[in-house]
Structure 1
Amino acid sequence: MPIETTLVLIKPGGVQRNLIGTIAQRIEQRGLTLSGLKLIKAERATAEEHYAEHRERPFFGSVVDYLTSGPIVAMAVTGENATKAIRTMMGATNPVDAAPGTIRGDFALSIEDNLTHSSSDPEAAARELSLWFPEGTL
């Protein structure tokens, strides 16, 4: 199985609700490693580049506004099949469809504040990691 590094962002709502430790603990308990971790205020340009594929969609402005509305945590997560493992752990994008036991299924109620972002595939992870960790990771 491939060892991958992927990106997880804990969005402002998750930071505000003090879920940083809970989310990080679940990731570590799964057997994955935090190879990068920082609490930051997202720059608007970085958030716009992060969501660039959605630039023409009607929700683009609101997701960028939300991501830049408060502190976020950026995590680089490394391990076997990390990208798929993290996506499964986070649950469906819309929390009302997320299974119990997932981060969103256990802690989120609305798609507007679904607590986290995780890379969709290894290629997206590489692009996103370069945005949020330009200095590199461990």
Structure 2
Amino acid sequence: MSHHDERTFVMVKPDGVQRGLIGEVVSRLEGRGLKLVGAKFMRIDQDLAEEHYGEHADKPFFEDLVGFITAAPVFAMVWEGADATRQVRRMMGATDPAEAQPGTIRGDLGLDLGQNVIHGSDHEDEGANEREIALFFDDEELVNWDQSTEGWVYESAEF
């Protein structure tokens, strides 16, 4: 990992997978200049879902969240780039797609709060990335690699 890079967890949720939007999401993140370092097409089981959404355990919508995220496969990913978490959050758009700006993933691809296509780590939650990455990936599943286009993405990078 270079000095200016951070890793962030991103997931295409069951609705995005069912709608065939994995490629669109990956394409947008790659197009922005982020680098994919881990990916996994998987079913989330009950235990993982409850741990992933643990902060909402006392909320009335918790069971619905767990039911939704376990209903179909997801595409879990780890992306790397400068200020990656905040950049992905901006690209995702508002949680409610009806409020999300056109041009964002949710603004372009979603209509409903409960079916909002994508999850990304919260840049305002210290440690959210590390927690979520560790929940879904073992260290050896993440690939350290040099992307030949880095000099064309970052002004300070060498060609």
5+ residue gaps in structure 1?
none
Aligned to 1:133: 137
Between the two proteins, what is the percent identity of the paired residues?
A: 45
Greater percentage in strand: 1
Question: C-alpha distance in 2, partners of 1:129/1:3?
Answer: 15
Q: Which amino acid aligns with 2:15?
A: G
5+ residue gaps in structure 2?
144-159
TM-score, length-normalised on structure 1?
0.96
Q: Which amino acid aligns with 2:122?
A: S
Matched, 1:25 2:27: yes
Q: Which amino acid aligns with 2:68?
A: Y
Aligned to 2:108: 106
TM-score, length-normalised on structure 2?
0.84
Matched, 1:4 2:6: yes
Tell me the SS of whatever aligns to 1:25.
helix
In the TM superposition, what is the alpha-carbon distance from 1:127 to its structure 2 partner?
Answer: 0.2
Question: C-alpha distance in 2, partners of 1:68/1:2?
Answer: 35
In the TM superposition, what is the alpha-carbon distance from 1:2 to its structure 2 partner?
Answer: 3.8
Question: C-alpha distance in 2, partners of 1:119/1:7?
Answer: 6
Tell me the SS of whatever aligns to 1:48.
helix
Tell me the SS of whatever aligns to 1:109.
coil
Q: How large is the RMSD of aligned CA atoms in angstroms?
A: 1.2
Q: Which structure has the bigger radius of gyration? A: 2
Identify the structure with bigger relative contact order (alpha carbons < 8 Å, sequence gap 6+).
1
